[in-house]
Amino acid sequence: MSETPFPLVAAVREAYGRGEEDETLCPLVLTDGRGNPLGRIGQGDSVIFYNIRGEREIELTRCLTQRDFKEFPVESNLGLDFATMIEYQKGLPVRVAFPPEDVVTDTLSDTLSRHGLRQAKITEAEKAVHVGYFLNGKREETLPGEERVVVPTRKDVVLFDEAPEMSSALITEAAIGKIRDPGCRFIFVNLPNVDVVGHIDNEAAIIRAVECVDACAGRIIEEALRAGLTAIVSADHGTVEKWLYPDGNIDTGHTDSPVPFILASPEAGTTLRPGGELTDVAPTVLELLGLPVPAAMTGRSLIASAPGLGGGAAARRVLVLILDGWGWSDQTQGNMIAKARTPAMDALMARWPHTTLLASGEAVGLPSGSVGNSEAGHLHIGAGRRIYSDRLKIDRAIADGSFFRNRAFLDTMHSARDRGKALHLMGIVSFFSSHGSIQHLFALMDLARQEGIRELFIHAMLGRRGEMPEAGAHYVGRIGEKAAQIGLGKVVSVIGRYWSMDREDNWARIEKTYRMLVQGEGTPWQE
């Protein structure tokens, strides 16, 4: 029996002692004095999944709500009353508290398609949603003339520090194939390694990831220039250029750094203006292609002067290469990009005009001071204007009180209250994750108390990204303090986000989370 009033805090700390860490923490479950798991999701209960972003939340939502779910064995008659903070996927049988606004139109992809230009988007499965759905203004279907080339993400490794090169060689070959196709006028390529590996506490692996991306970028740009394309090299947000906190601890999260923007053009004399942001990429591409910029795009072209552009732009081909997570910092302390060997990027910066772009906070529709992320980055690169994020809308709803009148929340809670069932809140527990905020959880706990919920169970998902080492135990403790303050709620399970937030059909991971939630499987810890 734990002496702490918040038992699973001690359980998390004991897991740290076994060598586990937040991101991959194996499931922990709270039990009673006879070893029975407490707070399991049962038939007819109500559940609110309060995460945002959504692409890593689809699989867990599906297994808990879909009647025809067949990826692994599930209970056939749970009949949950289920709500999600935002829409994770169209057609899920759930209430949505903050439904999506209309699809963003007049994006870069829309404009290219409308003018009959063939375009190709190339990455591996790990980032497919970003170069497809988000770059296209939250549109899932492809446009006329658009092709999405998705290279499989490796499944033979647990974490990508085992293979920091990921599938970048295949992405590079696919990009070169499109460069050699003269009918493809616009090519968008994402190399994901720096972002993906940068979330792992392994310096040697990060250096390998940076150097792999540099080598691939060099090959792609060299081939593009040989074929007469204009090439842009940029990024969606920063990551490993600020890999240390001021106290020397490792920061595996995203950053608020600007990102580089390099324009390699066969035409001489091009100059770039300073003071740009990611919304300026789309208007720049359109100017290079000789196409009109839609009135909806409030971004401005980054080209200050281009004497050789002229009427030849109508026949030009353009490649945009995104080095995912490659932020810009002139500080060398804790800068893994500066520490790595990057001859290709060094040569590009020395030869071609370049500047930096804002890629965080209000520049990408996030609250002031927020770090950037791949979702917001690609959305703004494609939209050419600022799009206010779900996080900002939710934060404002809490501030103005409309959050506490949200019909989806109220109906889900009243279902539990009126039928004598439990309410379950599940999601990431973090201040810094782009997938959600502990403040949103606290607001839901306040609402549950306001609406007379009698049984409130909390299922916490932990992650290291952007957090101090062993921050998970701190957050679980904060939830316990909040529950004690309002006299309602209990953390009954804890798991690392590696097992609960997947987007690559790694169903064995999701099944582990499902069994924790529904069947109480995991390391027991007595209340």
Label residue 247 exposed, middle or buried (CB < 10 Å: 0-12, 13-18, 19+): exposed
Class of domain 108-386: alpha beta
Helices vs strands, H then E, count in the chain:
17, 18
Selection from 242, 183, 233 nearest residue 371 by Cα: 242
Q: What are 11's two structure tokens?
A: 């359980």
C-alpha 506: how far from its chain's center? 17
Spell out the SS3 assignment of 133-197.
HHCCCCCCCCCCCEEEEEECCCCCCCCHHHCCCCCHHHHHHHHHHHHCCCCEEEEEEEECHHHHH
Selection from 446, 388, 404 nearest residue 97 by Cα: 404
- In sequence order, what are the beta bridge partners of 406? none
Q: What is the pLDDT of residues 436-492, one digit of tens each?
A: 899 999 999 999 999 999 999 999 999 876 677 788 999 999 999 999 999 999 999
Phi, psi of 319, rounded to the nearest 5 degrees: -120, 130
Cα Rg of the chain (Å, integer): 24
d(CA 153, CA 115): 33
Q: What is the pLDDT of residues 387-403, one digit of tens each?
A: 988 888 999 999 999 99
Report whether 288 contacts 301 (CB < 8 A): no
Q: What is the pLDDT of residue 54?
A: 84
Phi, psi of 218, rounded to the nearest 5 degrees: -60, -45
Q: What is the pLDDT of residue 2?
A: 37
Selection from 140, 147, 81, 79 nearest residue 113 by Cα: 147
Q: What is the pLDDT of residue 246?
A: 83
Q: What is the pLDDT of residue 4?
A: 44
Cα dist. 340→145, 240, 344 in Å? Answer: 39, 11, 12
Count of CB atoms situated within 10 Å of the CB of 510: 22
Once rounded to an integer, what is the mean pLDDT over residues 273-298? 96
Q: What is the pLDDT of residue 436?
A: 85
Selection from 82, 42, 87, 89 nearest residue 65 by Cα: 82
- Specify the 3-state DSSP secondary structure of 497: helix
Q: What is the pLDDT of residue 135?
A: 97
- Specify the 3-state DSSP secondary structure of 128: helix
Phi, psi of 151, rounded to the nearest 5 degrees: -80, 135
Report whether 352 contacts 359 (CB < 8 A): no
Q: What is the pLDDT of residue 311?
A: 63
Buried b (16+ CB within 10 A) or exposed e, 201-234: bbeebbbbbbbbbbbbbbebbbbbbebebbbbbb
Q: What is the pLDDT of residues 292-323, one digit of tens each?
A: 999 999 999 999 988 777 666 666 999 999 99
Q: What are 28's two structure tokens?
A: 């922990």
Amino acid at 244: L
- Specify the 3-state DSSP secondary structure of 330: coil
Phi, psi of 148, rounded to the nearest 5 degrees: -110, 115
The angle at the Cα of 317, spanning 311 to 321, to the nearest 5 degrees, equals 135
Q: What is the pLDDT of residue 3?
A: 37
Report whether 283 contacts 273 (CB < 8 A): no
**Can you tell me which residue has the tokens 């499989």?**
152
Selection from 203, 224, 114, 206 nearest residue 166 by Cα: 206
Domain boundaries, the chain: 7-99+392-526, 108-386
Q: What is the pLDDT of residues 235-257, one digit of tens each?
A: 999 999 999 988 888 888 899 99
Q: What is the pLDDT of residue 266?
A: 76
Average pLDDT, the chain: 94
Cα dist. 409→378, 384, 406 in Å? Answer: 30, 33, 6
**Quick one: pLDDT band at residue 1, thresholds 50, 70, 90?**
very low
By mean pLDDT, which of 89-98, 406-415, 424-433, 499-508 is the weakest? 424-433
Report whether 196 contacts 126 (CB < 8 A): yes
Architecture of domain 7-99+392-526: 3-Layer(aba) Sandwich (3.40)
Selection from 22, 20, 14 nearest residue 469 by Cα: 22
Residues 6+ apart with CB under 8 A from 382: 104, 107, 108, 109, 134, 135, 136, 137, 282
Q: What are 465's two structure tokens?
A: 């990204």
Phi, psi of 146, rounded to the nearest 5 degrees: -100, 140
The percent of residues in the chain predicted with pLDDT above 70, rounded, is 97
